[in-house]
Amino acid sequence: MAVRTTRSARSALVAWTGALAAAAVASTALVSPARAVPAGEDGRTGHRATQRALDAAVEEGVPGAMARVRDRDGGWTGAAGVADLTTGRARLPQDRYRVGSLTKTFVATVLLQLSAEGRIGLDDTVDAWLPGVVRGNGHDGRTVTVRQLLNHTSGIYNYTADQEFRQKVAGDGFFEHRYDTWRPQRLVALAMSHRPDFTPGASWNYSNTNYLLAGMIVEKVTGRSYATEIERRILRPLRLRATSVPGTDARMPRPSGRAYSTLLDPDPAAALHDVTEINPTVAGASGAMISNSADLQRFYGALLTGELLPERQLKEMMTTVPLGAQLPGYGYGLGLMRQKLPCGTEIWGHSGSIRGSASVAATTADGAHSLTFTFNSDAAGDTAKVVEAEFCG
């Protein structure tokens, strides 16, 4: 299928490509000097380029950065900056953090497992499972498939692009609305109040609404919430004890640091705000999960090596659509992204950005070399530099 990339495609890939959702760079005045761990947990020094990229992120305004690597030589962890600007505590390898859109890979995996069980078809229409939900202003769930939700070719409007909503949950209204509970039906209705981006299948555009709908379909098929299905199908079998779908709980489990944001302020010298506590229903099945780096590496490694999906469904997941001339070398599958780096290495994974947190999980297709890392800010730093430093060195 020929896919045309819309002008917002680059902004949709912000965390993966390194241009974070809030493009402004936060002031470094509040940031303590970097606390580098150049040798990692095992005393080796083979990841100096990755450590330098973490240090650079802190110099650019990220309060704290932390990475974990697994390769044929073993494991390595590195950190820079601090987890908490008030106490000065360093970032720890076991820290948990909000993973944002990495949640999408978990949701897609559940739907592909249901497909393997014959309980749903990837080419079923959305309306077959959620009658009348995708309707209005040109949207029509009778013409959109489950597959198009998962690979972002549905054309359905991205609810987080609504400017009034953005200001309410990520800008001036954040502190008033941070504990609000958002039902997915309400957020989908917000998307339906806008025109679709394009005719289903005609292009590609990242839309968080797609995965709210995917989560609703999981519940319709199974009779259980997407959170329950992720827990019983993925978290328990893989023993991912640091990973959770927090529901309406705004708190972070321990151990964890703090999360910081400029709240959409474009001023490079804008103050950082502590935004650690947030009701994650604002993201729901598109980005509510919490995890740590070790669990994420275990999950993506298990996924790509066939522990979670039969061969046919894994092939479906890794069948990508191109993102267009603006982003050569990128492809998006079913909740999984492919990127060919400048050095020629091909990696698979996803990125995530939610208020105060940016994270990336990337691995080679054979699972032999993987990287997970996180910044505790959504307003500074270049994640692309960390990815290229590790895989291209």
Beta bridge partners of 235: none
Cis? peptide before 246, omega within 30° of 0: no
DSSP string, 302-364: HHHTTSSS-HHHHHHHT--EE--TTSTTEEE-SS-EEEE-TTS-EEEEEEEEETTEEEEEEE-
- The CA distance from 11 to 128, in Å, is 31
- The CA distance from 80 to 66, in Å, is 6
- The CA distance from 342 to 232, in Å, is 39
- Give the number of residues written for the chain: 393
Radius of gyration of the chain (CA): 20
Exposure on the CB side of residue 127, measured as CA atoms within 13 A: 10
Give Cα separations from 132 to 52, 125, 142, 220, 341 (angstroms): 52, 11, 9, 14, 42
- The CA distance from 330 to 100, in Å, is 20
Tokens 């025109």, located at residue:
195
- SS3 state of residue 135: strand
Please state the separation of Cα 157 from the chain's center in Å: 18
Q: Angle formed by the axes of helices 184-192 and 208-222, to 10°?
A: 130
What torsion do the CA atoms of 176, 23, 152, 332 make, to the nearest 10 degrees?
-140
Closest-CA residue to 304 (of 387, 248, 369): 369
| 101 is known as an active-site residue | yes
Q: Tell me which of 101, 207, 256, 357 is the catalytic residue.
A: 101
Give Cα separations from 151 to 113, 337, 359 (angstroms): 16, 9, 20
Mention every residue, 6+ apart, whose C-beta is less than 8 A from residue 154.
126, 144, 145, 148, 200, 207, 210
Pairing of strands 346-354, 337-340: antiparallel
Looking at the annotation, which residues are catalytic?
A: 101
